């Protein structure tokens, strides 16, 4: 069964390990990744540290009706924030708009805690703000 199949309670939720596998990060790179990692944190958080090749779209912008960036359109989405609260809201919005989306339990805090890559706005070692 696909992790993108919507259940009765709304969009699905995945662990950081499943998110990494679905988006081609960390040790999962050899498996490839068909989904886009969509980071919905605010700009200052994004600049401090995000997953390489993630796509940035703040929840505040998404909630105002903004569309997805071109690189995230018509692709499965794995939505991440700092802890999992905003990503859950964003995934619900996206699913309501017809997108295939799941959110990441524990967000970037658990992503970094699992040893998955985090880069800053300049490509150096990032931190989760």
| Rounded-to-integer distance, Cα 124 and Cα 118, Å | 8
Measure the CA angle with vertex 5, ends 69 and 106; round to 5°: 70
- Catalytic residue chosen out of the listed positions 59, 81, 90, 93: 81
Three-state SS at 32: coil
Residue 81 a catalytic site member: yes
| Rounded-to-integer distance, Cα 44 and Cα 18, Å | 26
Q: Residue 34 has which token pair?
A: 């068909």
Residues annotated as catalytic (active site), given as ranges: 81
């Amino acid at each position: 069964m696909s992790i993108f199949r919507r259940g009765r309670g709304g969009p699905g939720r995945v662990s950081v390990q499943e998110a990494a596998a679905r988006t081609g990060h960390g040790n999962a790179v050899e498996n490839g990744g068909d989904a886009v990692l969509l980071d919905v944190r605010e700009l200052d958080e994004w600049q401090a540290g995000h997953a390489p090749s993630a796509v940035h779209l703040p929840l505040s912008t998404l909630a105002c009706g903004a569309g997805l960036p071109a690189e995230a359109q018509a692709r499965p989405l794995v939505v991440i924030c700092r802890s999992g609260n905003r990503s859950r809201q964003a995934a619900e919005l996206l699913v309501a708009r017809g997108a295939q989306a799941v959110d990441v339990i524990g967000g970037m805090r658990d992503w970094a805690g699992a040893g998955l890559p985090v880069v800053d706005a300049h490509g150096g070692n990032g931190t989760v703000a």
